[in-house]
Amino acid sequence: MITYFTDIYHGLISLFIGMGITFKEFFSPTVTVSYPYETLTMCDRYRGHTQLIANEEGKPNCVVCGLCEKACPSNCISLAGEKPEGGKKKVLTKYILDFTRCSLCGSCVESCNFNALEFSKEYNLASTRKEDFIFDLLKRLEEKNK
């Protein structure tokens, strides 16, 4: 019989503690953002999908060495380049990122010795189609620099 009343006593104590926390939080200011009209700025350490970095001329820093493609454990990167006539270096012609397979491990960014890749700050990616998550990063860079 004594355990019955001690269980009720401990239950009431935990109820009052929980209600005290609820009342305290009820009167504290809200921390939400009116989402479609306001957006949050991402911190510097946020890691979205990878994106190409442009040089001063607006062209990508990528020299088509393929280290990012080889370092990717998910095989979600495919790139291609060609050497123009009279040119010394290869020029990037295609850089496709399949974000549906990307594990955001960062191996591609770490393996790039030419400062050509970085993590984007995009966090608002939502779609019902798989095709919307296959990014042509070269095309995105050109659109960004326009």
Residue 112 has φ and ψ, to the nearest 5°, of: -75, 115
What digits encode the pLDDT tens for the residues 82-92? 999 988 889 99
User: Which helix (DSSP H) or strand (DSSP E) does residue 97 occupy?
Assistant: strand 91-98
86 is a domain residue: yes
Statement to judge: residues 102 and 129 lie in one domain: yes
**Residue 86 is part of a domain; what is its CATH number?**
3.30.70.3270
Return the bridge partners of 77, or none: 97
Residue 18 lies in a domain: yes
- Alpha-helix runs per DSSP H in the chain: 2-26, 67-71, 107-111, 137-144
Give yes or no: residues 74 and 4 share one domain. no
Q: Could you give the CA distance from residue 109 to residue 103 in angstroms, rounded to a whole number?
A: 13
2-59: per-residue pLDDT in tens?
A: 899 999 999 999 999 999 999 999 999 888 888 778 888 888 899 999 999 999 998 9
Statement to judge: residues 116 and 83 lie in one domain: yes
Rg of the chain over all Cα atoms, to the nearest angstrom? 26
The answer to whether 89 touches 16, Cβ cutoff 8 Å, is no
* Residues 84-137: tens digit of each pLDDT: 998 888 999 999 999 999 999 999 999 999 999 999 988 888 899 999 999 999
Q: What is the pLDDT confidence band of residue 65, given thresholds at 50, 70 and 90?
A: very high
Residues 128 and 94: beta-carbon distance below 8 Å: no
Q: Is residue 76 part of a domain?
A: yes
Whether residue 43 is contained in a domain is answered as no
Same domain, yes or no, for 122 and 82?
A: yes
One domain, residues 66 and 19: no
Amino acid at 112: C
**Residue 120 shares a structural domain with residue 78:** yes
Segments forming the whole domain that contains residue 27: 1-31
pTM score: 0.72
